[in-house]
Amino acid sequence: MAARAAIAVLGAFAAANTIAAPVASAAPKCSDIEVAFARGTDEPAGIGVVGQAFVDTLRPMVKGSTVSTYAVKYPATWHFWKAAAGATDLSKRIQATAARCPDTKIVMGGYSQGAAVVDVVATSPIAGLGYTAPLPAAVVPHIAAVVVFGNPSARIGQPLTRMSPVFGSRTADLCAPNDPVCSLGRDFHSHVRYPESGLVKLAAQWVTRHAQAPAASPTVRR
């Protein structure tokens, strides 16, 4: 499967993910919007720098709505096959949130290896290769939008917008110019500059449209 094969792509670019991350804030019992975000390789536990920049940008755009965060629990180490553990944790969180807070609009997000985590959840309807908690069909409508940054699947020609017939139209799969993790570019610095690239703002605008209006929006490809 392309989503899982793409995890191996990260091995060639491990040195690119060296930025530090603040810890995600505790989620209230039920919020209007919950952002479940998987950090990049070697970032400390939390939603990561890119995830935090995304949430900070999103909050003022969804005025009147409460926004909580959930940091996906997984090693985020150089052992990329362990991303499956993150996919299991992300899926279980989404299922629990949908059951406990049915009116909450869920946003799946991830950066770099975290994007590969999201890929597995969004494209794997059955368990396998360490992924043990596929999303039930009944939970899918609770996910308002998906945002991924520096997605390694895009480097092998399989962005999430193309891989997932279920979530493709709800997904912003964003790749900075010349980012070697998600494109054939060679600018390693671009991979750690998503907060400054303008793509975080674009992702927040994408989520705002989906979270505040039920109508489908055009697929975003970068």
Active-site annotation, residues = 112, 179, 191
Residue 12's contacts (CB-CB under 8 Å, 6 or more residues apart) are: 180
* Residue 62 near residue 39 (C-beta atoms within 8 A): no
Residue 33's contacts (CB-CB under 8 Å, 6 or more residues apart) are: 58, 62, 65, 66, 67, 68, 104, 105, 106, 107, 144, 207, 211
Residue 182: CA atoms inside 13 Å, Cβ hemisphere, count? 26
